[in-house]
Amino acid sequence: MNEQTTHKKRIFTRMGPLITRKDMLLACRAFLPWRWSQLRRGPHLERAIERLRLITGRKQVYLIDSARSGLLLALRSLSLEPGDEIIVQAYTCMVVLNAIRHAGGVPVFVDIDERYNIDVTKIEEAITEKTRAIIVQHTFGVLADTRTILKITLERDIIIIEDSAHIIGVKDSGTPVGTVGDIGVFSFGSEKYISTARGGAVIINNQVLLDAFETEYKQLQPLEVMKILQHLMTFIVFPLGKWMYGSIGKGILAFAARLKITARIIYPHERVGRRGSWHPSTYPNALASILIAQLDSLENSIKHRHDLTMRYLSAFRKYGISTQAMDDGTAVMQFAIEVEDPFDLLAYLNTRGIMVSDSWTGSPIVPRNVNLCKTGYLESQAPIAEHVSGHHVALPTHPNVSVEDVEWIIREVINYYNKKSEGII
C-alpha cells in the first residue's frame, strides 16, 4: 500500500483551506429565515472592528468587502491627478494594479529581493516628482523592510500603503503589521491568513488622510445579497466537495462554480483590468460572525504557522532546496520553494493527494492568465520576479494542516527530487 492511501486525508491549499466546522455552522445559521435581516448589517460588525482594534492597536479601522477595494479607496483618498505614479513591486496580484489604475494612478514596477518583497535598494531610482505612494507588500507573510522605505520617503511627500493581505496579527519590530506605514490593508479572502471567503480591512495611521478616506468610505453601498449568499455557500460547498473529492466531490465543486453558487477569488472582468459593479462595498454582518471566530483563534494559528514554517525551513535547507528568505520568527501564509519544473512537481504532488495551489506560479503578475497588456508590466522589467514566479511552488501552513501532514509533504517533495534524479519521472 502506498503512502497516498495510508495517509489520513487529502491536503488542500485552495477552496477554502481554513474552513472549520464552526465556520460551517455559522454560515448555515445565516441562512435561517429569522436571520436574513442581519445579512448586511448587524451586531457582529462592531464586534469584529473591536477585535481588529485590539490586534492592531489602532482606532481607525474600517471593514470593507475586500482588500482590493480597500486599496482602491486608500488610493482614491490621495486625490490622484493624471500621471501620478504609484510604486509597486513586480510579483504582485492583478487586483493591486487594477486598484491603482481605477484610482487614476500609473503603476511603476520595482523588482523584488530574496524575500520576494520590493527591493529597497531600487526604490530611489524609481521615484520621480509624480510619485504619490509606495505599496509595500509583505509577500506570503514575510515582512518587507517598511522602516527603510519610510526613511527613503521621510523628506518626500510620498504615502506608504502596507499591503498586508498575506499577514495579520504579527509584529514588525514591536509594531503591529499594517500600522507602520500611513495606511494598512488586510485581506480575509479565501486562501489568506484568516478567511471569510471575501472581505478586508483598512487601518488609517495618518490622520491627515482620515477625512478624505472617510468621505470615500461613507459613499459605499452594502454588498449585494446574492454575493453574500455566494460567499456563505463557500463554507458549505467547499468542505463537502473536498470531503468527497475522490468520488463525486470534483463534480460538486464544478457544478457549484458553473451555477455561480459559490464565489470566485478573481473574476473574469478583473483579469482584464475592469471593475465590477458591486465592489467596492461595505463588509456584511453575516461574514463578520465568521471573522470574529477566526480572529479569536488567530494567536494559536500564528503559533501553528510558525511551527510548520520552521519545519519546512529546516528540512529544505538540509536538502539544499531554495526557499524564500526568511528569519526564524516568521509564520508564513504559505511556504515558498523554488524548483526548476514547478508544474511537474505540482502534478506529482497532486497524484499523492497534495492539492497545492498554483496561483502564484507562472507570471510576475498573478494569476498567470491575466491580460498583461492591461497591467503596464513589460517583459524583462523585473528579472528576479520573473525568475521566482517561473519556479515557485507554495506549500501549506494553515491550521487544517497538521505536523504529520507537513512531514508527509516534505517526504513527497524529497521523493520527487529523488525519482527525478533517477529518471523514474
Output 372 or 78, whichever has higher pLDDT. 78
Residue 255, pLDDT > 80, answer yes
pLDDT band at 2 (very low <50, low <70, confident <90, very high): very low
Report the share of the chain in percent with pLDDT over 70. 98
pLDDT band at 233 (very low <50, low <70, confident <90, very high): very high
* Domain map (residue ranges) of the chain: 38-222, 298-421
Residue 417, pLDDT > 80, answer yes
pLDDT computed for residue 8 by the predictor? 64
Residue 330, pLDDT > 60, answer yes
Give the β-pairing of 221-222 and 281-282: parallel
Let me know: does 162 contact 180? Beta carbons within 8 Å.
yes
pLDDT band at 155 (very low <50, low <70, confident <90, very high): confident
Residue 319, pLDDT > 60, answer yes
Residue at grid coordinates 463557500: 234
pLDDT computed for residue 246 by the predictor? 85
What is the per-residue pLDDT across 366-386, written as a single tens digit (0 to 9) for each?
999 898 888 999 999 999 999
Q: State the pTM of this model.
A: 0.95
Mean pLDDT of the chain: 94
CATH classification of 38-222 is 1.25.60.10, yes or no?
A: no
pLDDT band at 425 (very low <50, low <70, confident <90, very high): confident
pLDDT computed for residue 398 by the predictor? 96
Rounded-to-integer distance, Cα 71 and Cα 10, Å = 35
Residue 154, pLDDT > 90, answer no
- Residue 83 to residues 74, 88, 136, 301, Cα–Cα distance (Å): 17, 15, 20, 42
pLDDT computed for residue 4 by the predictor? 46
What is the per-residue pLDDT across 88-127, written as a single tens digit (0 to 9) for each?
999 999 999 999 999 999 999 999 999 999 999 999 999 9
Give the β-pairing of 106-110 and 85-89: parallel
Residue 289, pLDDT > 70, answer yes
Residue 232, pLDDT > 50, answer yes
pLDDT band at 201 (very low <50, low <70, confident <90, very high): very high
Output 424 or 296, whichever has higher pLDDT. 296
pLDDT computed for residue 1 by the predictor? 35
Cell of residue 17, nine digits: 483551506
Closest CA to 219 of 264, 165, 281, 270: 281
Rounded average pLDDT over 164-191: 96
Other Cβ atoms less than 10 A from the Cβ of 386: the count is 19
Residue 6, pLDDT > 80, answer no
pLDDT computed for residue 44 by the predictor? 98
Rounded average pLDDT over 66-74: 98
- Name the CATH topology of 298-421: Aspartate Aminotransferase, domain 1 (3.90.1150)
Other Cβ atoms less than 10 A from the Cβ of 125: the count is 8
What is the per-residue pLDDT across 261-282, written as a single tens digit (0 to 9) for each?
998 999 999 999 998 888 999 9
Let me know: does 415 contact 408? Beta carbons within 8 Å.
no
Let me know: does 236 contact 24? Beta carbons within 8 Å.
yes
